């Protein structure tokens, strides 16, 4: 089995890394036309790389005020290259990202109380459980009528 590595790239990113991430998204056609791939690349938390050092997985987060919850949360996104959608890899990416962001959330301003994700993946839309193995809990639907899930950091205060 191919060796995959997780690379934490939160914080400042080199122009070369921003370009590499942007090119990956462009190759998969996943960035909406009205959004800048370079801007989103600055939000990357973890990359998953294959043995050839190619990017096969990405997680991002950015601070967002969620009016329904009256707090700031980190809007979380993840992507796995279709060739690397293997059992357990998505869960590991979610948990790695959450654990790291939970460890630093007290340093962020405004201080987020957890992560929120709008579920777009057809595979994940099939999940009907209130709580999944990601630890995220269903809280309702977005304006786009997609499921919203949250996972709070330890000690979150509303």
Strand partners for 48: 6, 57
Every domain of the chain and the residues it spans: 5-152
First to last CA, the chain: 44
Q: For 12-16, 61-65, 113-117, 135-139, which range has the lowest pLDDT when averaged over its residues?
A: 135-139
- Bridge partners of residue 75, in order along the sequence: 62, 116
In terms of pTM, does the model score above 0.85? yes
**pLDDT score of 130:** 46
Per-residue model confidence as pLDDT tens digits over 1-11? 789 999 999 99
Q: Which of 66, 82, 70 is nearest to 28 (CA)?
A: 82
The CA distance from 143 to 56, in Å, is 30
Q: How do residues 104-146 score in pLDDT, each as one tens digit?
A: 999 999 999 999 999 887 666 565 554 568 899 889 999 999 8
Per-residue model confidence (pLDDT) at position 119: 86
Cα(138)–Cα(147) distance, rounded to whole angstroms? 7
DSSP string, 100-117: HHHHHGGGSSSPP-EEEE
Percentage of residues in the chain having pLDDT higher than 70: 92
Beta bridge partners of 117: 149
Distance, CA of 122 to CA of 60 (rounded, Å): 19
State whether CATH 3.40.50.300 applies to domain 5-152.
Answer: no
Q: What is the pLDDT of residue 42?
A: 97
Compute the Cα dihedral for 41, 42, 47, 49 and give only its sign. Answer: positive
């Amino acid at each position: 089995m191919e060796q995959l590595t997780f690379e934490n790239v939160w914080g400042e990113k080199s122009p070369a890394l921003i370009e590499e991430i942007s090119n990956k998204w462009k190759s998969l056609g996943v960035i909406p036309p009205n959004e800048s791939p370079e801007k989103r690349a600055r939000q990357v938390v973890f990359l998953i790389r294959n043995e050839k050092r190619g990017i096969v997985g990405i997680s991002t987060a950015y601070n967002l005020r969620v009016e329904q919850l009256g707090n700031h949360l980190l809007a979380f996104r993840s992507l796995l290259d279709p060739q690397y959608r293997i059992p357990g890899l998505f869960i590991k990416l979610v948990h790695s990202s959450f654990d790291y962001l939970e460890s630093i959330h007290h340093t962020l301003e405004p201080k987020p109380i957890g992560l929120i994700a709008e579920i777009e993946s057809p595979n994940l839309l099939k999940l009907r459980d209130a709580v999944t193995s990601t630890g995220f809990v269903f809280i309702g639907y977005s304006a786009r009528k997609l499921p919203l899930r949250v996972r709070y950091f330890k000690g979150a205060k509303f």
